[in-house]
Amino acid sequence: MRFLANRGPALAVALLVVALVADAVLSLHNIREVATSVQWVSHSNEVLARLEAVLSTLKGPSCVAVSISSRSSRTGAGPCSRRDRRC
């Protein structure tokens, strides 16, 4: 019992240091995962932008304007509706 009374504060400090180091390691791991996720999201947005550019090139200017407006209104009416096979 006397052993714990003399070493109690030192043991508490040692456990605190171990807990802080474990927390630092877990935080570093999570930060790296978040950074990787941000890179993938950025890459996905670049791919989507390039696909939209290719799609707009293939469809032509009139079809792109109508498809963009139909996305916002969701009516689908106009020369490039889904029923129209050309666009």
Q: How far is CA 46 from CA 17, 37, 49, in A?
A: 44, 14, 5
| 31: its two tokens | 């930060």
- Alpha carbon distance 52, 76 (integer Å): 18
pLDDT the model gives residue 6: 78
pLDDT the model gives residue 18: 98
Residues of the chain below pLDDT 50: 74-78, 87
pLDDT the model gives residue 53: 92
The domain segmentation of the chain, as residue ranges, is 2-58
How does DSSP assign 14-52, residue by residue? HHHHHHHHHHHHHHHHHHHHHHHHHHHHHHHHHHHHHHH
**Which residue type occupies 83?**
R
What pTM does this model have?
0.51
Question: pLDDT tens for residues 62-72?
Answer: 655 555 555 55
| 83: its two tokens | 């029923």
> Which residues have CB under 8 Å from 70's CB, separation 6+?
76, 77, 78, 80, 81
pLDDT the model gives residue 52: 93
